[in-house]
Amino acid sequence: MADFADYYREIYARGLGGEAPTIPVSIAELELAAIEAMDPKAAGYVCAGAGSEDTMRANREAFAQHRIVPRMLRDVAERDLTTTLLGTTMPAPLLLAPIGVQKILHPDGELAAARAAAALGLPMIASTASAFTLEEIADAGGGGPRWFQLYWPNDKGLLESFVGRAEAAGYGAIVLTVDTFIPGWKSRDLQQAWLPFLEGTGNANYLQDPVFRAALEKTPEDDLGAATGHYLGVLANPSLTWDDLSLLRELTSLPIVVKGIQHAEDAREAAQRGVDGVVVSNHGGRQVDGAIASLDALAPIAEAVGDDLAVLFDSGIRGGADVIKALALGADAVLLGRPYAWGLALEGQAGVETVLKMILAELDLTMALCGYTSPSQLGPDALTGGDPA
């Protein structure tokens, strides 16, 4: 049982020696500092949302609409945030969301994030679109828990290879992202006319895959342009349907989580198709402009599936209080995205660890201040408009 709240004492103790935090504690200031430190193209890519970026704004506004109702005079001296989800035990209900092409933020990219996650025992979800291979990421994370996020290619042999490689590398679940079968309209990226994938960054899992390489006349090292062209040819899969999930189930005994669910009927369909969990997510506002805020979709989905599926959440988490709100509305765990990327941009592995420690400390402290000792105690009654306690 970790006492994450102790991190604030650590900060003050260092302050006695004249040492202030090198990374902004304020999430808003963290974002600004990271943007200033990044290459402008990388900053645009990480911060981009679809269209007018209305969905990104809605994600944050939805959190502001839900208010926590603290309860007093409850014994909260001993708290335990430990959570077990789909066979993976984690010290808190927090995972690192899959973020691709992290090398544009820091030379160590996903390797730094994997090491940071492992240092805290938190699961990292490695993206298919990583700048390092899934095997390299697994090696960097050592014995830490990890899941693999899958973009389903339109090449069956490549799909089988990805899943087999993930199993062999010790990943504990397959997280199938279904909301990115084609790219969203991202004004910032389009204005810069830049995508890292076109330069060979973010497609390491493809370029190093034996099935992918077998389809090339020359190796990617000898002809990156042709390899990139083949990558673009196998990447998109707009014909994917619910019926295809049976193939994925045949390919693996690992838990399958479907990421990108925003409608209760889709969540029910997922349960009927034999998957193990869903991630309520709008891809951080990066796919559909004007879409429903992810948090607004959470409670109806959690109610629709009950105990049939694990329910995870992402899109808009910026602090420990946000985690509490998502858990209260029905999430079993949350995925943290952009904030850890900002830490990566500033200080690599150390930056990611710092951001994670800050989020966990705020989560632990806020739970205590609101009268809770375990994530399992959080329900609608913890928020305004919920059922009375």
Assigned token pair, 208: 């190093």
Annotated active-site residue 283? The verdict is yes
Determine, yes or no, domain membership for 313: yes
Assigned token pair, 46: 């990480």
pLDDT computed for residue 262 by the predictor:
98
Q: How many residues does the chain have?
A: 389
Q: Is 270 helix (H, G, I), strand (E, B) or coil?
A: helix
- The candidate with the shortest Cα–Cα distance to 171, out of 146, 190, 188, is 146
Residue 162 belongs to domain with CATH number: 3.20.20.70
Indicate the number of domains in the chain: 1
Dist. CA 338–CA 359, nearest whole Å: 12
Domain that holds residue 151: 6-379
Residue ranges with strand state E in the chain: 83-85, 88-90, 94-96, 124-127, 146-150, 174-177, 256-261, 277-280, 310-313, 333-336
Determine, yes or no, domain membership for 387: no
The number of C-alpha atoms within 13 Å of 221 and in the hemisphere containing its C-beta is 1
- Tens digit of each residue's pLDDT, the chain (389 residues): 678 999 999 999 999 999 999 999 999 999 999 999 999 999 999 999 999 999 999 999 999 999 999 999 999 999 999 999 999 999 999 999 999 999 999 999 999 999 999 999 999 999 999 999 999 999 999 999 999 999 999 999 999 999 999 999 999 999 999 999 999 999 999 999 999 998 999 999 999 999 999 999 999 999 999 999 999 999 999 999 999 999 999 999 999 999 999 999 999 999 999 999 999 999 999 999 999 999 999 999 999 999 999 999 999 999 999 999 999 999 999 999 999 999 999 999 999 999 999 999 999 999 999 999 999 999 999 999 655 44
Determine, yes or no, domain membership for 388: no
Determine, yes or no, domain membership for 386: no
Catalytic residue among 66, 106, 230, 283: 283
Question: Residue 209 gets which letter from DSSP?
Answer: -
Strand partners, 336: 96
Dist. CA 352–CA 350, nearest whole Å: 5
Assigned token pair, 219: 């190796």
Total-model pTM = 0.97
Determine, yes or no, domain membership for 384: no
